[in-house]
Structures are given as C-alpha cells and as structure tokens.
Chain A
Amino acid sequence: MNSSDLTAKRRSAERRFKYYGLAAIAVTVIFLAILILDIVVKALPAFTVNQLVLPVTIDATKVDASNPAAGDFPALLKETLAKEFPDVQSRGDKKKLNALLSARAADGLQEQVASDPSLIGKTIAVPISLSSGADLHLKGFTDAQLDEKQAAWLAALKDKGFIQHGFAWSFFTQGDSREPESAGIKGALIGSILVICVTLMFALPLGVAAALYLEEFAPKNRMTDLIEVNINNLAAVPSIIFGLLGLAVFLNGFGLPRSTALVGGLVLALLVLPTIIIASRAAIRSVPPSIKEAALGVGASHMQAVFHHVLPLAVPGILTGTILGVARALGETAPLLMIGMIAFIVDVPHGFTDAATVLPVQVFLWSDLPEAAFKSRTAAAILVLLVLLFCINAVAIYLRNKFERRW
C-alpha cells in the first residue's frame, strides 16, 4: 500500500467518524420530532367537538315548574331526537339512536332550565353533547364503533344542519369523568397548581437557607462534608423512593390525609430540594467575594453582608434553578402514585386538603382506559403539560439571559 492510499483511507475514516456523531444527534432529534408529532396528531381530535343543536320543546308535563331541576330531561331529548326520525320504530333501533347521545347529554339543558324556569313550555335550541363514538365518527375515524344505521342517522342530522363543530372548551372547564366526551383537565390543572404551590412554599425557603448556610456559614468539618455528600446522593435517589417515604412518614406516620395536594406537594418538595440547593449554591458562589468584603469593610456583620448584598445578587440564579426544579416537579408522576393521588376525582379541588390529582397522573389514568376517545384526550392532556413545561423553561431561560451578570 503506498502512502497516498493510506492518506485517502485516513481521510475517509476521518469523514466517517464525523458523520457517526452527526448521525447520533440526528437519531435523537428525529426521535424527539416523531414523539412530539405523534402526540400532536393524536391530540388534535380532542381539541374540537361536534355537538347536536336541536330545538327542544321544554314540555311542562315532563318538567315541573316548581322543581325544574328534577325534570326528566333525558326523556325530553330522546323524544326530540325520535321526532327527527319517525321511521325508527323497533326497540333495538331506538336504543341505537339514543346511543348517539352522550350519557350526560341532558346536563346542560337541565342546568339552563333550572336557572331560568321561565323557559318551560318554550322551544329552545340547545347544544347537546354526542357520545364519544358519534363525535369520533364525525371527525372521520373509521374505528368509532358505530354501525351503518347509526352512521346514516348521523349523516342525516348533519345534512339538516343540526351538527355544530367547534373548539372543545369543555376540555378545559370540566373535571374528570367516566364518559370520555365530558372528561376535562380542569381538576388536574388546579391540582397541579396547588401541588406546585405547596412544593414552592417548602422547598424554596429551605433550599435557599441550606445553600446560604453551606456556602457562607458552615464550618469546614466532617459534618459539613457529610451534608454535602448526602445532598449529592439524594439528588440521584429514584423518585419512586420519595413516594415510599411519603407513604410511610407523611401518611402512616403523621396521619396526613391521603390523595391531597398537601402531601403531594411535601413529597415533591423533598424531591426537588437537592436540585434547588445545588443551583442556589452555584448562584451564591458566582457572586464575587469583593462585594461581600466591601460590605464587611464598612462595618457590616457577616450576616448583614450576606443578606443585604450577596443574596440579592444571587436571586436570578436561584430563581432559574428553582423554576427548573418546579418544571421537574410538575412532570413527576411515580411518587404521587404511592401517596394515593391516583383516585378517580370528579370534583375540582378547592384547597390543599381536598383530594386532588395532577396533570401527569391524569395522563397516566387516562392512558389506561380502552376507549378511543380517551386516547386522544390523553394526548391532549400531554400536549397541555408539554406546553406548560415549555413556557416555564422559556421563563427560566429569559430570566437567565436578562439578569445573568459576568463579573
């Protein structure tokens, strides 16, 4: 082999090696792109909804004016729908026709009439939720589990202009439900916010205080070393172990109420504490000692120098670290499963001691359900979670760029 051959070989090896690196990055980026695309495509159907808008006559014989809320609204809807299809006579067919409506289709009508009893006897056009199968069929899904007759009826309703297509606000304004068409993420969103509030309330002051102590006041001895090693190791403990801790200590030890935002927030606070301490220490360390020394030079005590001068300058760094910690807590699922935040909860939580669930747990719960409509709802909840995380990270990056100072 002559030397030019060898050079060519080495050159091509050089090129190949560089392409391996590029390929590795490309695989990762493509994976991320497919992941996000897959979720967006799956989620889109959940953001729109088809509703039936029929003129319903509020029959005074069905709805008692003195107690309108107790009226038989489902029967009213069924009759109205039956009038549209006079040729549907057999019991089986009628059942199939009614199956096009959601099991909770009459809820909206009931609410409207209960709040305004003067509607009784009048004919009003109200939006009525369809069953998730009918909704999916109208969105063009072939596996929507409707038979030919039902599909024909739906098509007839659509031709008559009774079907209204719009944005699914109910996805954001309703709590969880067994019926996919009326399941929303409001409960989980509020739950997430409550949990994060508790987490911040505990983790931020504790984390900053611990960082200040370790960075500024702690004597250099074995005890301090032990605390440092301990914090580093704690940061790498699997999150599910924190769930076991919460279960054994907070629930069985202290007897705090299960499934609540309080316990969830406490567990997540312990989980993100090491992250916040490590980030805060880095922020405090990056403040140049000359500033502290100047304060000490004009007669401030060590404590004054730290609290009046070092800490304010470290705040942007501490905030960035805290926000990243919050983002982690917001996406955490496993420890919350351990402390019972996995219960089926319809009501939106109002306080820290109400039973609550959070967005990632809601995703987990829905992903287990067999209905096709829940699949798109799961993806939609994921999308909301990802957008939320993205915004939080964007705030952190903005803060870092705006306030970062090079000394």
Chain B
Amino acid sequence: MSATLTLSRPNRKLRRQIEAVVLVLLACASGVAVLTTIGIVLSVVYESLRFFSEVPVWKFLFGTEWAPTAEPGAFGIIPLLGGTLLITLIAILVAGPLGLLSAVYLAEYANLKARRIIKPVLELLAGIPTVVLGFFAALTVAPFIRRAGEAFGLSVASESALAAGLVMGMMIVPLISSLSDDIINAVPQSLRDGSYALGATQSETIKKVVLPAALPGIVSAFILATSRAIGETMIVVMAAGLAANLTFNPLAAVTTVTVQIAALLVGDQEFDSAKTLSAFALGLILFIITLALNVVALRVVRKYREAYE
C-alpha cells in the first residue's frame, strides 16, 4: 500500500503528460474535418484559377455554348446549369409530393406497426447505391418512356431528361419523407388539440395547422433535397446525355454539371489543358451552389427551432 502511494506521485505526473498528448491528438482528429474542407476549397480554387487564366470568367459564367473537346473549346456553363436545373426540377416535382404525403401519412395516420414496416422500406430505397438506380434509369425507365412517347407520337431522346429526373426523384423521396416526418412530429400536440377543439377534422388540421407550422422545416427539407439532386452524379452519368443542349423539353437529352465533371476527368488526363481544368471550375460552381443551399437550409431550421423552444 505504501509502495503504491510513493509511486503514485511520478505516475500522476506521467499521467498528466500522457493525457495532455492524447488531448492534442483528439483535437487534431477533429481538425481533419476542417482540413478536408480547406483541402477541397484550395484544390478546386487553385485549379479553377489556372483555368480562368486561359478562359475568361465571364465567358465561363455567361457563355451559352459548351464544347470542351472542340478546337478551340467553348466553355459556357449556361447549358449545363440549364440541364441540371431541368433534371432537378423534374426530380423535385416527383419527390416533393410523394415524400411530403408519405411523411404526413407516417406522422399523422399510420399506427406504430405500420410505421415499423414502412420506415425500413423507405430506408431500403435510400440505401440503394446510385449506380444501381442509374442502371435502372438507363436500361429500364428510359426505354419505357421512349416507347410510351412513341405510342403518343412524341419524339423522345433515348437519354431523356425525364428518365433521369424521375429516377432521381424516387431516390430523393426517402430524404424528404424522413426529414418532413421528423419536423411534423416536432409540431406540438397542443396545436392539433386546439384545432380539433374548434371542430376541424384531422385532414383540415393537417392542412391548416400542422403543415403551416412545419413549413420552415419542410422548406429546408426541400432545399436539402435540391442540393442532393444537383450534386448527384451516377444517375445522370448513366441516364442523361453528354450533349449540352439548352432546352426545357423534358423529353430531350440534356447534360449536367456533374456529368461533365465525370466525362472530363475519366480516362487519361493532362493537367495543363483547359479541358481538364474546366472540370475543377465546374466543381467550384457545384461546391458553391450546394454549400449555399445547405447553409440556407440549416439557417431556416435554426430559426424554426427557436419558435417552439
């Protein structure tokens, strides 16, 4: 006993030193996440600056022609943004109603047993790799839409924006429904009780009380879903086209920012051509757009939380 007591003094000193080292290591680990962000920003910005030294920024941002492999190449991002917007819009038009209505049913109507079955099924859909959804979009949905369109006498591109958008929409349904489900559940029961006491039915309560109360959260769920759709790569790489068309016809083939990044950087590359560097400029635009959407979504959620706590 006395031996351990005499030993404990230097031990305690050693322990303190070791703990100080461990603490520094732990802090460093959390710094890796910050380093990753810095790494992303630096690498993308650095290569973009090299690109902008060859192609003027205004030509990149406002050009309406995208032909990186042509001689001389045209690097106008407008048709890519147009294509991204078109496919994202289709995806949100599909996922918005489906996701929101599923969430309302899960949160307000479904009993515990139904929830226990439906939620894992939605999670299953969320867990399917996007390359699988891309395969399905390209080989099953796109030919189906093409045949259906021809039956009505419409000309449908074999890589139509509609096929990619539809499947992407289905991919986003679980995201919107789980976020909205949480938000609807967070609406205080007292608001519903108040509405019932005034004689409103359940659906009237949902439409006139619950959803308006949950609106900020739902809006942020939609913003996050939009950001996810804009950044999604594999579905569009496999099911959307490569040709940059500036059109809002969902039956035509369009291309997106992510498709072009993938197309430009897959295969052999030289790191001094404007063609390869333009992929980083596209990456920068993609990063800025998705980051802005996420920041807005988080801010909306935070404001909403303050209202009930």
Contacts and interface: CB of A to CB of B under 8 A. Distances in A.
Interface string A206-245: 1101101110011000000011011111101111111111
A389 B127 contact: yes
Contacts of A123: none
A23 B104 CA distance: 12
A22 B105 contact: yes
Interface stretch (B28-36, B62-70, B151-159): B28-36
Interface stretch (B72-80, B230-238, B246-254): B230-238
Interface in A246-265: 247-249, 252-253
Contacts of B232: 238
Contacts of B286: 238, 240-241
A240 B295 contact: no
Interface residues of A, number: 83
Chain B interface secondary structure, helix, strand, loop or mixed?
A: helix
B111 interface: no
B202 A14 contact: yes
A121 B127 CA distance: 57
B200 to A, nearest CB: 9
B97 A24 contact: yes
A244 B290 contact: no
Which range holds the interface residue count of chain B?
35 or more
Interface string B257-294: 01001100111000100000001100100110011001
Nearest to B137: A35
Interface in B194-240: 201-204, 206-207, 224, 227-228, 230-234, 237-238
A245 B280 CA distance: 10
Contacts of A23: 101
A214 B265 contact: no
A337 interface: yes
B40 interface: yes
Nearest to B25: A209
16 contacts: A17-B207, A24-B105, A25-B106, A28-B174, A31-B125, A32-B124, A206-B29, A213-B26, A218-B27, A240-B262, A241-B44, A245-B36, A342-B266, A360-B129, A364-B234, A375-B139
Interface of B: 15-16, 19, 22-23, 25-34, 36-37, 39-40, 43-44, 46-47, 97-102, 104-106, 108-109, 118, 121-122, 124-125, 127-136, 138-140, 170, 173-174, 177, 201-204, 206-207, 224, 227-228, 230-234, 237-238, 258, 261-262, 265-267, 271, 279-280, 283, 286-287, 290-291, 294-295, 298
Interface of A: 10-11, 13-14, 16-18, 20-25, 27-29, 31-32, 35, 38-39, 42, 205-207, 209-210, 212-214, 217-218, 226-227, 229-234, 236-245, 247-249, 252-253, 270, 273-274, 277, 301, 303, 327, 330-334, 337-338, 342, 360-361, 363-364, 367, 375, 378-379, 382, 385-386, 389, 393
